[in-house]
Amino acid sequence: MKFVIIGYDGPDGEARRKIHRPAHLANLEPLDKAGRVILAGPLTDKAGSLLVLDFDTREEAELFARTDPYTLHGVFERVEIHPFLQVLPKEA
């Protein structure tokens, strides 16, 4: 099941993001290799980040969000998780 994870940056998010980006990307790497990252990246208005990830359960999505370096080190002040149904592009 796909989940949208929106991480909203805290007051020092931009500065902390630069420091913790390598650890954040390393955390995503196994999911990416497994084909579970649909898309991920920062919002260009600097509000935070958007990730669309494939997990078996909401609990897995919540665990990922809670333990990601961006959450642990205060890049994200707040995180929202929503189940997501992809309509387009159609999956192969």
Please report whether residue 6 resides in a domain. Answer: yes
**Per-residue pLDDT for 90 more than 80?**
yes
Residue 91 has what pLDDT?
A: 79
Domain with 65, as residue range(s), is 2-84
Q: Helix, strand, coil: what percent of the chain each, to 5?
A: 40, 35, 30
Q: What is the rounded average pLDDT of the residues 4-9?
A: 98
16-52 pLDDT, tens digit each: 999 999 999 999 999 999 999 999 999 999 999 999 9
Q: How many domains does the chain have?
A: 1
- Residue 7, classified by CB atoms within 10 Å of its CB into exposed (0-12), middle (13-18) or buried (19+), is buried
The Cα–Cα gap between 10 and 26 comes to: 21
Please report whether residue 52 resides in a domain. Answer: yes
Q: What is the rounded average pLDDT of the residues 72-78?
A: 97
Please report whether residue 92 resides in a domain. Answer: no
The Cα–Cα gap between 43 and 62 comes to: 20
